[in-house]
Amino acid sequence: MKVVLIGVGQAGGKVTQALAEFDYDMGFNAVRGALAVNSAEADLQNLDVDTTLIGQDRVKGHGVGGDNELGAQIMQENATEVLDDMDGRITTEAEAVVVVAGLGGGTGSGGAPMLVRELKRIYEMPVYTLGILPGDDEGGLYQANAGRSLKTAIRESDSVLLVDNDAWRGSGDSVAEGYERINDAIAQRIGLLLASGEAVEGVGESSVTSSTSRTGGGPAAASVVDSSEIINTLRSGGISAIGYASAEASEDPGENVNTITSVTRNALLTSMSLPDATDAESALLVIAGDPERLSRKGVERARRWVEDETGSMEVRGGDFPLGSDKIAALVVLSGVERSDRVDQFMQKAKQAARSQGGRTDPEEYSNDDLDSLM
């Protein structure tokens, strides 16, 4: 799927660069433009993607100090400048725009939902938010910011691809190592998802849905995921999550039936960007690997398992041909905002808001009415 990336805030800029670099290094060509936007000039200086500094008249390039309402105001005041800088990047080739942001800071958590609103006002293509929740150790202000930002982003975006900072951080990582690991994991998973929606010349047709059956143990009759399958999966809106797992593949596709189901289980049960998110309105399963090693029986069995595990009757599935000696499973779940992890996080956000002296009305964190952020 051909996309344009816009990173907002410090984390948004770093993840945008990681995604653009992964796409370039792999030769996927799914990222058709990338821009990093921030109110803190220092956070833009070490990025290789194009950058835009906003709010100079308000904060003099020093950032908003974690104030996400100010971040939203500055983005609203400077949206025209940002959109002008995107001119020429969002072309007829682009199939979606992805706004990337850490939801705990000031510029990202406040500015990203505002920018999404402006983009949707102008463009008919889907506009997604790739949002990163702060870890439990990042402080009350970040928790409170993220709670309000997430509710607003859900309302404004076509879908929020949510990453829990604590999901992919190693237990022994330092802070810097933790962020690097998370950025690499996001780049790999989201990068593969975008690339899997690109047409592969000379291979396959459109992907199967839950009503289509593929049987047999031989090589998969290439059923390649295309962009429409990604867009239709995310059409459920709300919160989406992504998981990934891989394993060594046998040269005999018949021996890879269990490998395909195993990596699918690992992707969904142990590697989701939102832990314990399994109930979903719709889902997409992408099996990546050498087409000569993929088993039709394995792919279909894995897809049926995802259907049973998620309770969704709308589970799409397909292949992503890659020259690799491994088989990988990429699982995308859409409509997972009812997950326990989201509920727990919003409760923490509410408590953090109270401790920060903010609004204490519980309804602010149990419905989508968050106009005050905007």
> In this predicted model, what pLDDT tens digit does every residue of 99-114 receive, in sequence order?
999 999 999 999 999 9
CB 233 within 8 A of CB 283: yes
Q: Is the pLDDT of residue 371 over 50?
A: no
Whether 31 maps to a domain, the answer reads yes
pLDDT of residue 169: 73
Are 161 and 362 spatial neighbours (Cβ–Cβ below 8 Å)?
no
Distance CA 179, CA 174 (A): 9
Task: Give the global pTM.
Answer: 0.89
Higher pLDDT, 211 or 323: 323
Looking at the domain assignment, is residue 327 inside a domain? yes
Whether 374 has a pLDDT exceeding 60, the answer reads: no
- The range of the structural domain enclosing residue 312 comes to 227-334
**351 and 369 part of one domain:** yes
Maximum separation of any 2 CA atoms in the chain, in Å = 65
Q: Closest by alpha carbon to 6, among 93, 121, 119, 147?
A: 119
Residues 30 and 161 in one domain: yes
Of 35, 45, 169, nearest in space to 111 by CA: 35
Q: Residue 234 is which amino acid?
A: L
Q: What average pLDDT does the structure give for the chain?
A: 86
pLDDT given for residue 289 in this prediction: 94
Distance CA 177, CA 170 (A): 8
Provide the pLDDT for residue 194.
Answer: 95
What value does the mean pLDDT take over residues 308-335? 93
Do 56 and 135 share a domain, yes or no?
Answer: yes
Q: What DSSP state is assigned to residue 210?
A: T
17-21, 220-224, 355-359: least confident range: 220-224
Q: Indicate if 67 and 140 belong to the same structural domain.
A: yes
* pLDDT tops 50 at residue 364: no
- On whether both 173 and 33 belong to a single domain, the answer is yes
> Per the domain annotation, does 217 fall within a domain?
no
Looking at the predicted structure, is the pLDDT value of residue 343 above 50? yes
- Mapped to the 3 state alphabet, what secondary structure does 289-322 carry? ECHHHCEHHHHHHHHHHHHHHHCCCCEEEEEEEC
Is 220 within a domain?
no
Rounded Cα distance between 374 and 371, Å, is 5
Domain count, the chain: 2
Lowest mean pLDDT among 46-50, 154-158, 206-210: 206-210
Q: Beta 326-334 vs 282-289: how paired, if at all?
A: antiparallel
pLDDT value of residue 95: 95
Whether 76 and 183 share a structural domain: yes
Q: Report if residue 208 sits inside a domain.
A: no
Q: Is the pLDDT of residue 166 over 70?
A: yes
Is 289 a domain residue? yes
Q: Nearest to residue 11, comparing CAs of 97, 99, 87, 85?
A: 99
* Residue 51 forms part of a structural domain: yes
Q: Is the pLDDT of residue 13 over 90?
A: yes
Q: What percent of the chain has pLDDT over 90?
A: 68
Do residues 44 and 192 both lie within one domain?
Answer: yes
Q: Minimal CA–CA distance to 148: which of 340, 349, 7, 344?
A: 349
Order of all β-strands in the sheet with 96-102? 50-53, 31-38, 3-8, 96-102, 127-133, 159-164, 239-248, 326-334, 282-289, 315-321
Quote the pLDDT of residue 171.
63
Show the tokens assigned to 340. Answer: 């326990």
Judgement on whether residues 176 and 91 belong to the same structural domain of the protein: yes
Domain check: are 186 and 53 in the same one?
yes
281: domain CATH number is 3.30.1330.20
> What pLDDT does residue 358 have?
53
Tell me if 4 sits within 8 A of 49, measured CB to CB: no
Residue 212 lies in a domain: no
Q: Does residue 237 carry a pLDDT above 80?
A: yes
CATH value at residue 109: 3.40.50.1440
For the segment 250-302, what is each residue's pLDDT rounded down to a tens digit? 999 999 999 999 999 999 999 999 988 888 999 999 999 999 999 989 999 99
Decide if pLDDT at 217 tops 60: no
**Angle value at C-alpha 298, between 261 and 22, nearest 5 degrees:** 65
246 shares its domain with 158: no
- In terms of domains, do 104 and 158 share one? yes
Q: What is the pLDDT of residues 64-87, one digit of tens each?
A: 999 999 999 999 999 999 999 987
- Same structural domain, 84 and 175: yes
CA distance 12 to 133: 12
Tell me, what's the pLDDT at 199? 53
**Of 123, 314, 144, 153, nearest to 239 (Cα)?**
153
